[in-house]
Structure 1
Amino acid sequence: MVRSTFWDRSTEPLVPPAPTSESYDDVVVGAGAVGLAVATALAQRGRSVLVVEAHEAVGHGTTARSTGKLALLQGTRLSTIAKDAGLDAAGDYLAMCREALEWVRPVLARHDVATTRRTSASWGEDLGDVDATRDEDSAARALGLATRWQRSAPDGLPGHGAVLLDDELQVDPLAYTVALAHEAMAVGVDISVGRRVTKAVGHPQAVVHCDDGSAVTGSQVVLATGIPVLDRSLAFATTKPVRSYALAFASPGAELTMSVSVGQASISVRDAAGSGSTTSEAVVVGGLSHPVARGGSEARRIETLRRWTRDHLPGAGEELDAWSAQDYTTPDDRPLVGRLPGATPVHAVTGFGKWGLLAGVGAARRLADAIVAGDDVGRFPPSRLAGPKRAATITAWNGEVGAAMVAGWLGAARQGRRPRATSTVDGCTRTVSGVCPHLGGVVRWNDAEQTWDCPLHASRFAPDGRVLEGPSTSPLEG
């Protein structure tokens, strides 16, 4: 089972007190970094805010399962945006991340969350990646970052060329999430855990219904759930859900560059300390992302990551933990923010491509500013995706989704029956419907985490059919 993270060793997820009100100015769905950031920003402007979280505690979602990099150098993000949309667009993205960092730093200090400063690096694993690292260096320097380029990969890693930036921050991402929750509660935000939102209806007030039969009202609803649940915008057609993996190995005293490779099979490396400490106890290696429920055995990918670590990080000792996380990429590597179609006032923010600890927080706080000011934040998804280049990417992505749909149902047709999902975990055999309630995809077994995952839009379910991750808001039927 891929469940426990290295961060769970030193930080406890947070179970806030249950709220008593049923009416708020704003209801935010999702208690990760994005949801907590937008909730805090709204409350700081005098609004009453509720955050509703499907997990049983704050700290069980994507934010807390990340590698905890608060970096402005993010692979080749700046040069990719600059090539696609111009240097001004890349500059705006960087400014958004800087705004988030300036807000986050004092929050972490107030809540005694230790950070460590490291040089960050984007390195090329192959000779063909050298130009990409040089382009990132050029774009970063043009935007005012004091990067530098070198011919060798950092820390003796295999590769050719790297762009580096000194004095970047890394953090325990679970401690980061819990600190953001405490900050939100300190300014009056209520947080309700263990409630999955199933629908929002009504105008001008939205009535938000949950799976426990309860409902709350708000003048605005913000979805910070990855692919937006309650989706009326076809947002699932404009993002690609990817799952990636992380391993922690004992490595006391190691101080490593905070690195990420820019090749197709991206690898992330950092050292890690226990909560409240800056002394390294481990090395965390992550990567090998792939579209959810597509790309073969998840367990085999984790084993590949193990071999890579043993081959290239000789200081890595005993394996401590293995886990995975899910995030969403966009056709142009920029977050998607906007109001969903329809009369009910629902906004969404998603698509951070694994850099949500800053990009997501920055996008969320800008959305909060727009909501309070009454500005038009635009429809979701944004119009910038309407051009021919973006349309080609979106068409290709949805072609893959269609192929997965057809393959799943053809497999069921060959068996002559409606798809069923049967699993045996810890000696308990269960059979549930094999059809995802979201859009009818046929789920596939995740052999690392022992879950049923949908290859269409990445809904995930426990062996007994319970929803673990949206966009589905309904379980697999028994």
Structure 2
Amino acid sequence: MADQHTEEKFAETSWQASADIPDFDPLKDDINTDVVIVGGGITGITAAYLLVREGFQVALVEAGKLLNGTTGHTTAKVTAQHGMIYDEFIQHFGQTNARLYYEASQEAMAFIRETIDEHGINCDFRTQDAYLYATTPKYKKKLEKEAAAYEKLNIDGELLEELPIDMNVKNALVMKDQAQFHPLHYLSPLIKTIVDKGGRIFENTTAVHVERGEEQSVITRGDARVQAKYILSCSHFPFYEGTGFYFTRMHAERSYVVAIKPKTEYQGGMYLSVDHPTRSLRSANIDGEELVLVGGESHKTGQGIDTHEHYNALQTFGDDVLGIEKQVNRWSTQDLTTLDKLPYIGPLTSQTSEQNILVATGYRKWGMTNGTAAALLLKDLVLEKENRYASLFTPSRFHADPSLKHFLKENFDVAKHLVEGKAESSNKEMKGLAKDEGAVVRVDGKRKGAYRDKDGELHVVDTTCTHVGCEVNWNGADRTWDCPCHGSRFSYSGEVIEGPAEKPLQKEYKMIESMMSERSGY
């Protein structure tokens, strides 16, 4: 576990610490444009890049800083091997649609390669084989089924008995000629192209609503309006749901990464376990230093053990497999999974009035290819061109199998946490909090959230999530309040970090004043 002196270094990911991304001013005045894109990750930036090259006037608005969300926290594997998924897709959607999903990812990877070549981008792009591996007999059999799916879909892969790295496995499944890169170094030249071609980018500009009508507009928190023919929601969780009820059709998961310098030489390849808890490995060159990113430990947001333990588990795994000379960085990330595990890309809803509001979300941790595929599809929808992936990814789809089962399961889980959160007790007292410690506390029988920062200042919030009223839990590793129902996240002082919540947690000013007057020793 990192000590307090290293925490600030861990505030940035390895990608962010080694990239120089330009700053942009907030939007202050009303503007008109052809297309407004909400969200400054790989989908929004790639879509803006594609559309300005087609001659469209484009405005991109980002609630915080560009590439500071999921794209800046990815493991950046550029691959069509998205876990053990193709046998499942064949069962649920048929062989044709399963092959389409694979081809969408392969075309996204080809686009990335071509873009790198066209612009001469130095982003540590490396062709690598991708491996799934099993460590138990149960998952050995599942990998055999996945290998059979590869054969049916004509995917270049092979079932193996061992890995190139020294790990004890039951079997492994390789997908040949995949890739990895530095995502921010790749996207930085695309940002420059957007600006050079007249695209406008605004940071620290939070989109909160869509005003529909003959001339639709995105309304920002600062009351500035962006009027546009097309609105593209590329903001991780859709900033505007209309009647799509996306919060009932997706769940949020967090996962973790530890960047290490290994003691032993890394033999190449990208690796992902199919057993649980998940384990992921890939190399990365950061400022000339060869590192290995050790990832995994996925769990539903706001649920599970002390989040510090996830980092500890990854450190132990990395040390066992490679040996750790030093830990360079660590970070966590969040992504969304849809009911059927296919992304939602296309018109927000099936309503005619919302056909020009397009959405891209639910990448299930595979945003480098899914996000790029989404941008390519969104471009064609704006151009009103046919795209063979449109029906596969349409947000208005509903497959009874598996969507109905997962819809009932996820929403039962929400109801369970809504009830349990209200009844949860706590023995922690605010006055007993150490510096840099947060916890759920009870004050006069009411559930509150308290965090004492490194300077000793106390921050107290109401723990009721402003989305549907579930009770948030403390995430000690990230110093955030996380909702176990729909994945909303708030800073320790209550500000929204990730939706679907739009309003901050209520701050308990009177309680803070009372406690601060009683504090001693801080």
Please report the TM-score for the alignment, with normalisation by the length of structure 1.
0.92
Map of 1:333 onto structure 2: 341
C-alpha separation in 2, matches of 1:380 and 1:8: 31
Gaps spanning 5+ residues in structure 1: where? none
C-alpha separation in 1, matches of 2:197 and 2:90: 37
Map of 2:384 onto structure 1: 373
Gaps spanning 5+ residues in structure 2: where? 1-6, 427-441, 508-522
C-alpha contact (below 8 Å) 2:343/2:361 kept by paired residues: yes
C-alpha separation in 1, matches of 2:400 and 2:235: 26
Correspondence 1:442 to 2:450 = no
Map of 2:273 onto structure 1: 261
Alignment partner for residue 405 of structure 2, among 350, 367, 392?
392
Q: CA deviation at 1:449?
A: 0.5
Q: What SS does the corresponding residue of 1:137 show, helix, strand or coil?
A: helix
Change (3 A) 1:388 1:102: closer
Alignment partner for residue 407 of structure 1, among 412, 420, 427?
420
Map of 1:195 onto structure 2: 205
- 1:271-310 correspondence runs (5 A): 271-274=283-286, 281-310=290-319
Q: What SS does the corresponding residue of 2:424 show, helix, strand or coil?
A: helix
Residue by residue over 1:183-213, the C-alpha shift from the partner in whole angstroms, topping out at 9 and shown as x without a partner, is 4334433221111111111213222121233
C-alpha separation in 1, matches of 2:262 and 2:202: 38
What code does the residue aligned with 1:176 have?
Y
Residue by residue over 1:420-455, the C-alpha shift from the partner in whole angstroms, topping out at 9 and shown as x without a partner, is 321112122111222222222211110101011111
Alignment partner for residue 420 of structure 1, among 432, 448, 464?
448
C-alpha separation in 2, matches of 1:99 and 1:21: 37
Map of 2:156 onto structure 1: 146
Map of 1:208 onto structure 2: 218
Map of 2:20 onto structure 1: 12
C-alpha separation in 2, matches of 1:467 and 1:220: 26
Correspondence 1:46 to 2:52 = no
**Bigger RCO (CA 8 Å, 6+ sep):** 1
C-alpha separation in 1, matches of 2:176 and 2:51: 33
C-alpha separation in 2, matches of 1:169 and 1:187: 29
Q: What SS does the corresponding residue of 1:289 show, helix, strand or coil?
A: strand
Alignment partner for residue 108 of structure 1, among 109, 116, 141?
116
Change (3 A) 1:102 1:117: closer
Map of 1:470 onto structure 2: 499
Correspondence 1:185 to 2:199 = no
What code does the residue aligned with 1:467 have?
V
Correspondence 1:95 to 2:103 = yes
Q: What SS does the corresponding residue of 1:352 show, helix, strand or coil?
A: coil
What code does the residue aligned with 1:265 have?
P
C-alpha contact (below 8 Å) 2:61/2:206 kept by paired residues: yes
Change (3 A) 1:418 1:346: farther
C-alpha separation in 1, matches of 2:449 and 2:394: 33
Q: CA deviation at 1:325?
A: 0.6
C-alpha separation in 2, matches of 1:396 and 1:21: 43
Map of 2:11 onto structure 1: 3
C-alpha contact (below 8 Å) 2:122/2:186 kept by paired residues: no
Map of 2:142 onto structure 1: 132
- 1:16-35 correspondence runs (5 A): 16=24, 22-35=31-44
Map of 1:223 onto structure 2: 233
Q: CA deviation at 1:388?
A: 4.8
C-alpha separation in 2, matches of 1:145 and 1:340: 32
Alignment partner for residue 68 of structure 1, among 62, 67, 76?
76
Q: CA deviation at 1:418?
A: 5.0
Q: CA deviation at 1:89?
A: 1.0
What code does the residue aligned with 2:377 have?
R
RMSD: 2.5
What code does the residue aligned with 1:15 have?
D
C-alpha contact (below 8 Å) 1:254/1:281 kept by paired residues: no
Residue by residue over 1:222-254, the C-alpha shift from the partner in whole angstroms, topping out at 9 and shown as x without a partner, is 111222122221111111110000001113853
What code does the residue aligned with 1:411 have?
E
Say which is worse superposed, 287-296 or 226-235, in terms of deviation: 226-235
Q: What SS does the corresponding residue of 1:156 show, helix, strand or coil?
A: coil
Say which is worse superposed, 242-251 or 434-443, in terms of deviation: 434-443
Q: CA deviation at 1:147?
A: 1.1
What code does the residue aligned with 2:304 have?
G
C-alpha contact (below 8 Å) 1:41/1:369 kept by paired residues: no
Q: CA deviation at 1:378?
A: 7.5
C-alpha separation in 1, matches of 2:239 and 2:291: 36
C-alpha separation in 2, matches of 1:263 and 1:185: 44
